[in-house]
Amino acid sequence: MAIRNLRLEGDEILTKKSREVEVIDEKIQTLIDDMIDTLHKYNGVGLAAVQVGVLKRVVVIDLYDGNDPIVLINPVIIKTKGEQEVEEGCLSFPNQFAKIIRPAEVIAEYTDREGKRMRVTAKELLAQTISHETDHLEGELFMDKIIPGTLEYLEPEK
């Protein structure tokens, strides 16, 4: 397992569409493990493979709620409900936060790391994170969706 380099603001790869994972092989399993390590190193909640330079439809999410990180391969949001205004940041845009409108609830289908097709009904933070990370897979960035005038830059910790 390894910490991967994050792709940051201005990196062209972040605007590219990720490709479907066709086979969940050892290479994908290693990518998942590395993504979880990288997510934890930077105290993130979600990470898409494109953020570590891999154009594959893989997402890892950790809500730090005592459960294992969630791995979503080829996730698709099939239904959304309601709206929530949330404060959002992104590991690819360090120390930048803004308000954004996300669905209050999403239903998503995905394949887990064992190859089983799954469905999740997510609310609040999980719904927000699934929406944010699936946007990454489409090459869409949260910076393009912020509520005007809400962007804040925080000083990096020394």
Q: What are the catalytic residues?
A: 133
Q: For the purposes of burial, counting CB atoms within 10 Å of the CB of 21, is it exposed (0-12), middle (13-18) or buried (19 or more)?
A: middle
d(Cα 122, Cα 61) in Å, to the nearest integer? 12
Beta strands in 11-154 (DSSP E): 46-48, 58-61, 70-81, 84-90, 93-102, 105-111, 117-123, 152-153
d(Cα 127, Cα 121) in Å, to the nearest integer? 8
Name which of 57, 60, 45, 52 is nearest 21 in CA terms.
57
